[in-house]
Amino acid sequence: MSKKKQFEVLENESIDECLNRIKNEGYVPIKRIEKPIFKEIKEGNSVTYEPAGRYIVFEAIIIE
């Protein structure tokens, strides 16, 4: 079993539910990585980008 593992917050899952899932698997989170997700909008010849969501990943280590 590896000492580090990454847990992605799933689409229909809250952050608390993800943290509980991490705890139930015997890990403790040490780092949170959050990246924005953008969607491309084309209006005529111009292209703009709008925020469409976020991608959250927790890095966790095993509890010994």
* Higher pLDDT among residues 58 and 3, named by residue: 58
pLDDT (average), residues 15-33: 96
User: Would you place residue 3 in the very low, low, confident or very high pLDDT band (cuts 50, 70, 90)?
Assistant: confident
Residue 64 has a pLDDT of: 80
Residue 39 to residue 54: CA distance in whole angstroms: 11
Concatenated DSSP letters of 3-60:
SEEEEEPPTT--HHHHHHHHHHTTEEEEEEEEEEEEEEEEETTEEEEEEEEEEEEEEE
pLDDT (average), residues 26-36: 95
Longest alpha-carbon distance in the chain: 58
pLDDT-above-90 percentage for the chain: 83
Report whether pLDDT(20) > 90.
yes
Whether residue 49 contacts residue 38, with contact meaning beta carbons closer than 8 Å, is answered with yes
